[in-house]
Structure 1
């Protein structure tokens, strides 16, 4: 976890599932409580996520709204997000830099366009 510009960047490592997603959930909850302007979840080192993770991200989106951004998902995570429709709710970016540069955060599909980046 690090501050970059006006954002909290959370680097996730390893698979995200029922047994491992709690720290991410806690960080996102605390970011909401602290009123963080933007939260970028760097998924570049997360090869897998399950439905528990999707639920955590949806709850975080409910709390943080457009402040929450997902960056650098693997092909497997992109597929999960597409199958679950999460890609239409949360903005996905090819990299942390693109997530930080983008203003304002707009969910994929909100304007009929393609993935950000």
Structure 2
């Protein structure tokens, strides 16, 4: 996991498999961002090859804690399918790129329901 600042946003890039054994650093980073009042927080998911229910729960808790400050960018094909199958694509704030996620207005509609992503 790599974390950096870009244009006022905290960007978190995660790679590989995210599961019960290794999702804790992402969870801690997102919890700390919520405690610190950091906004926005962009999670780049483009290189995630697998995620389990623990990862889904981490993202949902972060969404609850951060609200519109949490923005998920470039979900991998695996995650797009997972989010679509579970309906999370209508709940979680998905964006086509890190730049788009950084620039998104907090009040803009989120997820496939709101039209941020083309289907």
TM-score w.r.t. length of structure 2: 0.90
Structure 1 residues 15 and 6, CA gap change in structure 2 (3 angstroms): same
**Map 1:1-117 → 2, pairs under 5 A:** 1-104=3-106, 105-111=108-114, 113=115, 115=117
Cα distance in 1 for residues equivalent to 2:110 and 2:116: 10
TM-score w.r.t. length of structure 1: 0.91
How many angstroms does 1:110 deviate by? 4.3
Unmatched 5+ stretches in structure 1: none
Contact 2:17 2:50 in 1 (8 A): yes
Select the structure that is richer in strand.
Answer: 2
- 4+ residue segments displaced more than 4 Å: none
Cα distance in 2 for residues equivalent to 1:61 and 1:10: 15
Unmatched 5+ stretches in structure 2: none
Deviates more, 1:102-111 or 1:23-32: 102-111
Contact 1:60 1:68 in 2 (8 A): yes
Cα distance in 2 for residues equivalent to 1:75 and 1:67: 23
Contact 2:94 2:116 in 1 (8 A): no
Cα distance in 1 for residues equivalent to 2:101 and 2:85: 22
Q: What is the Cα-based RMSD across aligned positions, in Å? A: 1.4
Contact 1:66 1:106 in 2 (8 A): no
